[in-house]
């Protein structure tokens, strides 16, 4: 059946969640998947579970987006801004390479970096990005098999 001249085709049905609270990651996942598959609880569980399953030797580094207090000199203000922090293993030792630190902070071995990540995630409002090679990304091998 043809359309009348000048008639516009009807737009496709597009799933779209609007921002609610601080759940933009959940909304982004659901919007990309075009259905409500993730809840805040499900997303939180996913964040906790891959932490123990991360194949850290296959990860070049981690970048965290954390809440960061705002201060003026010695005065701490009741405001929080977001701050990006890098974690990296060098010669078998993991370091916190936060640009606000005077020098790299030693986190230690894999247990040390996992403890740091767990503490950061427990604060809430923390995002973790993995930096991996293209090969690791294509294979999905940043996670250990169960």
pLDDT tens for residues 108-133?
999 999 999 988 888 777 788 888 88
Q: Is 83 one of the annotated active-site residues of the chain? A: yes
Q: How many domains does the chain have?
A: 1
pLDDT tens for residues 42-67?
776 666 668 778 899 999 999 988 87
Tell me if 139 is assigned to some domain: no
Tell me if 117 is assigned to some domain: yes
Tell me if 100 is assigned to some domain: yes
Tell me if 68 is assigned to some domain: yes
User: Of the listed 27, 47, 83, 126, which one is catalytic?
Assistant: 83
Tell me if 75 is assigned to some domain: yes
Tell me if 6 is assigned to some domain: no
Domain that holds residue 76: 40-134
User: Which CATH number goes with the domain that contains 104?
Assistant: 3.30.1490.420
User: Of the listed 16, 24, 27, 47, which one is catalytic?
Assistant: 24
Tell me if 52 is assigned to some domain: yes
Is 0.75 surpassed by the pTM of this model?
no
Tell me if 22 is assigned to some domain: no
Cα separation, 12 vs 38, in Å, equals 23
Cα separation, 25 vs 7, in Å, equals 38
Nearest partner of 81 among 72, 71, 68, judged by Cα: 68
């Amino acid at each position: 059946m043809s359309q009348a001249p000048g008639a516009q085709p009807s737009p496709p049905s597009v799933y779209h969640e609007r921002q609610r609270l601080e759940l933009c990651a959940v909304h982004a996942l659901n919007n990309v998947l075009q259905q409500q598959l993730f809840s805040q609880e499900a997303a939180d569980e996913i964040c906790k579970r891959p932490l123990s399953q991360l194949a850290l030797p296959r990860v070049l580094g981690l970048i965290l987006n954390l809440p960061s207090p705002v201060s003026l000199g010695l005065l701490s203000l009741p405001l929080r801004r977001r701050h990006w922090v890098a974690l990296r293993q060098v010669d078998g030792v993991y370091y916190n390479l936060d640009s606000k630190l005077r020098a790299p902070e030693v986190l230690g071995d894999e247990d040390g970096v996992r403890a740091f990540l767990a503490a950061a995630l427990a604060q809430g409002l923390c995002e973790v990005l993995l930096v991996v090679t293209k090969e690791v990304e294509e294979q999905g091998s940043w996670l250990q098999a169960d």
